[in-house]
Structure 1
Amino acid sequence: MFDTTRMMKRLVCTSLLAVLAACGSAPVGPGFYRVERGDTLSKIARSNRQSMQNIVRWNNLPNPDSIEVGQVLRVAPPGNAASTTGAVRSNGGGSATATPPSSRPAPADSAPPSAPASSISLVWPADGTVIRRFDGANSKGIDISAAPGTPVVAAAAGTVVYAGNGLRGYGNLLIIKHNAEYLTAYAHNRALLVKEGQTVARGDKIAEMGDTDTDRVMLHFELRYQGRSIDPSQALPAR
């Protein structure tokens, strides 16, 4: 007999994965580019006929040598600003003016949502050092570094809706749904200790920290409200 329950469960998991993948593989609008494996800023600039200086300036990049897979970069002038390598046209009076670009849509997930993070209370998902914080653009969560095998715990009670490694860039990943609005994600684990459909309580051990699909041992932790990433630290106790 065709198992409709299993099918519906898989559809739910697929939808939640799509939500997370939106910040790493969804199409971006004209004038933007999503960083892929093997890309460098120099390569991206050449491909889009821009200078590295323009791309650094348009994206406020603190370090041109540090771009990440999945990061969205502006590769065309914002608004009516002209790039230093932009096309020029004569205005009929002997001088040349830059051709203003057309209005371009913002990339997906570029505007942080207005979310009542205070309406959910979390515990820290792991002990360790926070090495990267949420900024809403290049970082959709927080990264916590510690020793391999450090326990990862559920930040709040909920149901495990995904456990696997099918989403590129996240490694061994867990997604816990807490209610109709909130879910949390736990990436790069060495081992997953819970299964899909399992109910967990706040503080339950759910995984062991690792370095799957990343270059160092850490936990990448995300909080999502109605499908969009928000700053987890707003719902975490101060350290």
Structure 2
Amino acid sequence: MALAALLLAGVQISGCSTPTRAKVVSLEKRVTGAQTGNRSSYHRVRRGDTLYTIAWRYGVDFQELAGWNGISPPYTIYPGQSLRLSYPVTRVAPDTPGQEHKKASSGSSATTAKTAPEAKVAARRSSDNKGNLTGQKQKVVDSNLLERTNLVWQWPTNGRLEQRFSNVDPSRKGIKISGSSGQRVVAAESGKVVYAGSGLIGYGRLIIIKHNKNYLSAYGHNRKLLVNEGEVVKKGQQLAEMGKNGAGKPTLHFEIRRNGTPVNPLKFLPRRR
């Protein structure tokens, strides 16, 4: 009789208890190289980095990189900031009764950056009327760029095609065109200069242009840069003077990337006669 009473009590207790449930905190949309070990999951921002150069270095789309880290245009980042290089990994957390469920944020580093002294100074500057007007004009320019779909490319310089694009060789993400030191390097299409500098190893003095929300082009191994970041350039406008590659030969390295992925420029450039 006593044993039956104990069993009955156990059934009553188990029937009244509420099991702890697990909830998805963040949803992983796809698995990238960051999860599979092909690259580090995070990048620590260094002085001279931009969102575009980081995206270029790791072969990801700059808009996705911004989204993963909660960064909005004009994509300001700060030295020391840690940027996620992939979608957030799905993880589970106990759903504690009475506790508000909080979503994981991929933009925590961006939020921290906003409290940095540099961000406060930038916020004060942005409140200036002149700065606001400039910002409005910039938004219009960026909006117009994003809406362009009918890109018509031209060759970025004259010369002989020295090296073709390869899908399998990581050292051949673009084409190489030989020429003479100092010869003109021009924009293959209209767009906005999002990088002008020498911070990416292997490219020398480099220019990156954003043409719309999908396409970027790059011009490497320049002797002299003639445009600045943020400048809007027209198709055929001179960007730089041709310089020499690592072997000391006057060469232009030219790339086109679609959604962060290198594509064969020869499929976009007009056929030479």
TM-score category of the 2 structures, normalised to the smaller one? 0.5 to 0.7
Residue 22 (structure 1) aligns with: 58
Tell me which of 164, 168, 175 is aligned to 1:137: 168
CA distance in 1, matches of 2:150, 2:50: 26
Q: Within 5 Å, which residues of 2 pair with 1:211-230?
A: 211=244, 213-230=246-263
The reply on whether 1:162 has 2:195 as its aligned counterpart is yes
Q: Number of aligned residue pairs: give it.
A: 136
Q: CA deviation at 1:220?
A: 0.3
Point out 4+ residue stretches in structure 1 off by more than 4 angstroms.
Answer: none
CA distance in 2, matches of 1:128, 1:184: 18
- The separation in 1 between residues aligned to 2:156 and 2:257, in whole angstroms, is 15
Give the TM-score of the pair, scaled to structure 1: 0.53
Q: How many Å separate the matches in 2 of 1:153 and 1:188? A: 13
Pick the aligned partner of 2:205 from 156, 163, 172.
172
The CA distance in 2 between the partners of 1:186 and 1:214, in whole Å, is 17
State how far apart, in whole Å, the 2-side matches of 1:122 and 1:208 are: 20
Deviation at 1:218, TM superposition (A): 0.2
Q: For residue 15 of structure 1, report the CA deviation from its aligned partner.
A: 2.1
Name the stretch that deviates more: 176-185 or 131-140.
131-140
- Counterpart of 2:226 in structure 1 is 193
* Correspondences of 1:41-60 after superposition (within 5 Å): none
Cα pair 1:190 1:212 within 8 Å, conserved: no
Q: Which runs of 5+ in 2 are unaligned?
A: 1-45, 60-148
- Give the drift of 1:213: 4.5
Match 1:122 to one of 141, 153, 168: 153
Report if the CA contact (8 A) 1:151-1:205 is conserved.
yes
Q: TM-score, structure 2 length as denominator?
A: 0.47
Secondary structure of the structure 2 residue equivalent to 1:16: helix
Percent identity among equivalent residues? 46
Deviation, structure 1 residue 20? 2.3
SS in structure 2 opposite 1:160? strand
Task: Look up the match of 1:4.
Answer: none
Cα distance between partner residues in 1 of 2:204 and 2:180:
17
**Partner residue, 1:181:** 214
Give the structure with the higher percent helix: 2
Q: Is the 8 A contact 1:120 1:235 kept in 2?
A: no
Q: Is the 8 A contact 2:245 2:251 kept in 1?
A: no
Tell me which amino acid in the other structure corresponds to 1:180: K
Return the offset for 1:19.
2.6
| Equivalence map 1:61-76=2 (5 Å) | none
